[in-house]
Amino acid sequence: MRFALLVAGATAVLVAGMAALVAVVWSDLERRDRDVVGPILEDELGLVLVAGLLFVTLLAFAVAAVLGRYAGAARRLAADAELAAEANPAHRAQPRGAAELRRSAAAVNRLADRHEEAHRETERAVARGRQEIEEERRLLAALLAQLASAVVVCNLDGRILLYNQAARELLGGDEGLVGLGRSLLAILDRDVVAHALDRLLAPGAEGPRARFVAPAGGRLLRVEMAPVRDRDEATTGFLLSAEDITGPAQRGERREALLRGLIEESRAAVGSIRAAVESMVEYGDLEEAQRRRFLDIVRAETLRLGARLEDVMGDAPDGAAQGWGLDEMRAGDLLEALARRLRGGDGPAVEVVPADRDLWVGVNSHALGLALTEAVATLRRADRGVRRVRLALVPDGGHGRLEVRWTGRHLNVENLRAWEGRFRDVLAGHGGEAWSRAEPGGVAILCLLLPVAEPTEPPPPRPVPAIAARPPHYDFALLGRSERTELDERPLGELRCTVLDCEMTGLDTEHDELVSVGAVRVVIGRVLAGEVFERLIDPGRAVPEAAVRVHGITDAMLAGKPGVEEVLPRFARFAEDTVLVGHDVAFDLRFLQRAEPAAGVRFDQPVLDTLLLDAAAHPDHEDHALEAIAERLGVSVVGRHTALGDALVTAEIFVRLLPALRARGVETLGQARAAVRATPEARASERLYG
């Protein structure tokens, strides 16, 4: 555009000057001279126009030569200098253009040599200064790695700053939910965490910890939370340790089932022994053969009972009877946990009345569940009409009243009082009470009072943040960062990104299929090489030989792998609440979006393309291919044409582009989206930025 404007301007000036000259000469001619010259000019008008066109062409070539020798070379020199100063200290300017610009390029390269050496010396000095801190961090990471309990440190917005491998396995599973910068509130219920945090931070709070029980990923977790404070004793985050108590609860249920079976079998054995002994006592003059027969019965039943006791002791899980003390638990979670226990085996149908979300109780859920299960089992043996049990937990003064309601044959008050006694020992540790009543129509209710957790002031409104394997699993730079900035206004260096790449059976976006997805997270300008996603996908068709030559993924490697409908939901969880980044990412997104209906997911996050970002940061470079950008920025290309390998290279490129973008005034996500729209290369990916 500048070239065209320059040629047009120069042509217009020259034409205007010639026209002015002709007008002056024409005005000085006598009338008879004009009559002579006029016809000559008319006859030679075509020659004049051709000469003018030739003149403009020669002028254009002259302007292009000047621009190429001076302006273009100067712009490329400026771009090379920016690269060396901002992104890649090892980059050097290529001498181009006039002699003056070649001398300037040599001077820039000498400065770049000094800059690179100063950069290396600075890095060495910083490394020496940070060595002690890094040693302490590695020691911390090593200690955390040895802990059996899951440990997570978060800032006050719930963003994960540190975690150990146990936390990744317990809380994250295969979905990659645990990661630096990700939100703990994507794993644990926000209200549960907020309630515990508010109790922990409340003025006059008793003790340095808050305890609660919460479900997560189909498991029941016992959680302890402690504050993280700075030098001024201001709370900047919290430490959370979690333990899976699903196993102990299941072992307790198994032990309870063994004991119930032993009781049932013992009744028959004790009955036989009692009958034999009573017969021997009542009929003292029994013949020796009859007496021996009764003694054999007693001996056989005694031996059978003893053997059964040994079997039960051998099968009983260790530590099943251990209690866990009182934990804070939301009423709805407690009801669901009790309902799951009652429904086990041939248990009754259980209806749960929705509880107040703000109602919390202090409870030993394991002990209470055991007692309630045994009571309902006894109830069903005594009254075979019982098929349905209804559970409710409602506020009652300073307590929560757990109501167990069933319908069956009429039960008298004496029976109910006998059964409620089963709960008295359990409730003694809760400081609660138990009572029962019968209602008309064969309806019976057992009521248990449980202590309510101390109320706290309603938590201040917090935004719900949507949200990495080996040490280090920490990033304390997140500690002071807030989630209150709108995404488009957030600096590029503070974004949480998922850098992705895909491999396919071919290049036809309408008919070819995905065979691999790879991704890595980038958090606050750092590539988290330990937090990656890599899956092979069965495309449901043969992989063409041409595609195999590119990415090396064969049909044998894909045999037995999950389909796209299973892999994409896992990838969506991995990339949740992040900005998607890729190189020429529109191509990858077409395949992902075409598979969205089958997978039941939708990728609607903001998108950044490193091809377009490089075009915005380095407009004077013509080649924006992945290899060319990597060479300019000093990024080693490893694992090319593998999904994860390309994702890692793209992530390094993205991080190194950030300083160059800042130098051009592109600092936020919104500014980056606007900058790439202005590039000619953006037309091919316009739909990503509309």
What pLDDT does residue 463 have?
39
Catalytic residue among 119, 366, 621, 641: 641
Q: How far is CA 393 from the centre of its chain?
A: 34
Name the residue among 455, 466, 539 with its Cα closest to residue 503.
539
What pLDDT does residue 655 have?
93
C-alpha span between 680 and 45 (Å, rounded)? 41
C-alpha span between 413 and 433 (Å, rounded)? 17
pLDDT of 309 above 70: no
pLDDT of 102 above 50: yes
What pLDDT does residue 464 have?
33
Q: What is the CA radius of gyration of the chain?
A: 40
Per-residue pLDDT tens digits for 127-138: 777 777 767 767
pLDDT of 519 above 90: yes
Per-residue pLDDT tens digits for 49-97: 777 777 777 777 776 666 666 677 777 777 787 777 777 778 888 787 7
What pLDDT does residue 469 have?
34
Cβ–Cβ < 8 Å for 478, 180: yes
- And the tokens for 265? 């079998």
| pLDDT cut 90: percent of the chain above it | 17
C-alpha span between 617 and 79 (Å, rounded)? 9
Q: How confident is the model at residue 194 (pLDDT cuts 50, 70, 90)?
A: confident
Mean pLDDT (whole number) for 25-54: 74
- And the tokens for 487? 């995404």
pLDDT of 28 above 50: yes
pLDDT of 311 above 70: no
CA angle 591, 595, 597 (to 5 degrees): 145
Cβ–Cβ < 8 Å for 324, 212: no
What pLDDT does residue 307 have?
72
pLDDT of 615 above 80: yes
What pLDDT does residue 324 have?
47
C-alpha span between 541 and 77 (Å, rounded)? 50
Cβ–Cβ < 8 Å for 670, 492: no
> Which alpha helices (DSSP H) does 283-357 contain, by range?
288-315, 331-343
Check residues 417 and 103 and name the one with the higher pLDDT.
103
Per-residue pLDDT tens digits for 488-503: 888 998 899 999 999 9
Q: What is the DSSP letter of 540?
A: S
- And the tokens for 81? 């200098």
C-alpha span between 591 and 571 (Å, rounded)? 14
Three-state SS sequence of 177-222 = CCCCCCEHHHCCCHHHHHHHHHHHHCCCCCCCCEEEEEEECCEEEE
Per-residue pLDDT tens digits for 243-286: 887 766 566 566 666 666 767 677 777 777 777 777 777 776 77
pLDDT winner (highest mean) among 38-47, 412-421, 544-553: 544-553
Mean pLDDT (whole number) for 3-20: 75
Cβ–Cβ < 8 Å for 461, 419: no
Element (H, E) at 92: none
Residue 412, φ and ψ in degrees, nearest 5: -80, 165
C-alpha span between 239 and 517 (Å, rounded)? 34
Place of tokens 């009543």: 437
> What is the average pLDDT value for the chain, to the nearest integer?
78
pLDDT winner (highest mean) among 355-359, 475-479, 551-555: 551-555
What pLDDT does residue 438 have?
73
**HSE (CB half, 13 Å, CA atoms) of 399?**
16
Mean pLDDT (whole number) for 510-527: 91
Residue 446, φ and ψ in degrees, nearest 5: -110, 125
3-state class (DSSP) for residue 520 = strand
Per-residue pLDDT tens digits for 199-250: 777 765 555 678 888 888 777 888 888 888 887 878 888 888 888 877 665 6
Check residues 633 and 376 and name the one with the higher pLDDT.
633
| pLDDT cut 70: percent of the chain above it | 78
DSSP tally for the chain: helices H, then strands E: 21, 17
Q: Characterize the bridge pairing of strands 607-609 and 579-582.
A: parallel
Mean pLDDT (whole number) for 337-359: 82
Active-site residue, 641 included: yes
Mean pLDDT (whole number) for 276-301: 75
pLDDT of 148 above 50: yes
